[in-house]
Structure 1
Amino acid sequence: MSDLLQRLRGRGWRMTAQRRVVAEVLAGEHVHLTADEVLAQATARLPEISRATVYNTLGELVLLGEVIEVTTDGRAKRYDPNAHRPHQHLVCSGCGTIRDVHPSGDPLSDLPDSERFGYAVSAAEVTYRGRCPGCATEQGP
């Protein structure tokens, strides 16, 4: 059973067949699917699932804090089930692939007091950008 399914069961979330399929599609590391990609994979597993059910389930998972909405470069929202382990994202500027990364530094402590402007900073989002090996190869030297 996936980590996401275990967390949802632990919360007592009502696990219908449709919700289970959406959670199964989101299982794994480095999963950052769009809603349409979730729908396509969910439909392959459960043909009767509707677009509205997939979108509503994704919305519920975000509200529960079990899935993170990720948006990069104005592209479609993506859904990241790695909501309980602090991480940042590495995005390919060519194909848009997103990978979870775990830098050793703390972005909150890296912001000097002089740059906080009196804010009580509680979170930081850092996105690393570059070209994945496949896109770097396609571009050439």
Structure 2
Amino acid sequence: MSDLLQRLRDRGWRLTSQRRVVAEVLDGDHVHLTADEVHLRAAARLPEISRATVYNTLGELVTLGEVVEVSSVGRAKRYDPNAHRPHHHLVCSVCGTVRDVHPAGNALGDLPVAERYGYAVGAVEITYRGVCPSCA
């Protein structure tokens, strides 16, 4: 499980019932839900939660750096609660399923200095694409 709820408590972020249910829906390993999926799951736990509240809460979590938006070409953004653990993503090009992966090596170190063009590179985002076993 991710430590999203604990991180939010440690920050002193006001956990209203709506915010808490959104965080609970997002909490876990390999969780990469769309905003609509978050709303659907949150509404199952707290029927009065609005779509706008879910979108606003997701936006706040992204701004806080506690959740990362994962974009995939032609698909809705997904939200990843594992914002503080370095990892990459493996995406199914058919169904859009996203999994966290932790390959060996140092992706930043693998970029030759000559290919950095003077940039002070501070982060690397790698997305592996393929077809998942369910879609194969």
TM-score by length of 1: 0.93
- Aligned-residue identity in percent: 79
What is the count of residue pairs matched by the alignment? 136
Query: Is 2:4 the counterpart of 1:4?
Result: yes
Following superposition of structure 1 onto structure 2, how do residues 7-86 of structure 1 map, counting pairs within 5 Å? Answer: 7-86=7-86
TM-score by length of 2: 0.97
Query: Rg bigger for which structure?
Result: 1
Q: Is the 8 A contact 2:30 2:98 kept in 1?
A: yes
| Structure holding more helix per residue | 1
Structure 1 outlier segments of 4+, above 4 Å:
none
Shift of 1:2: 6.0
Shift of 1:88: 0.2
Aligned-partner Cα distance in 1 for 2:12–2:2: 16
RMSD: 1.1
Which sections of structure 2, spanning at least 5 residues, go unmatched?
none
Q: Is the 8 A contact 1:19 1:57 kept in 2?
A: yes
Aligned-partner Cα distance in 1 for 2:37–2:88: 22
Q: Is the 8 A contact 1:2 1:24 kept in 2?
A: no
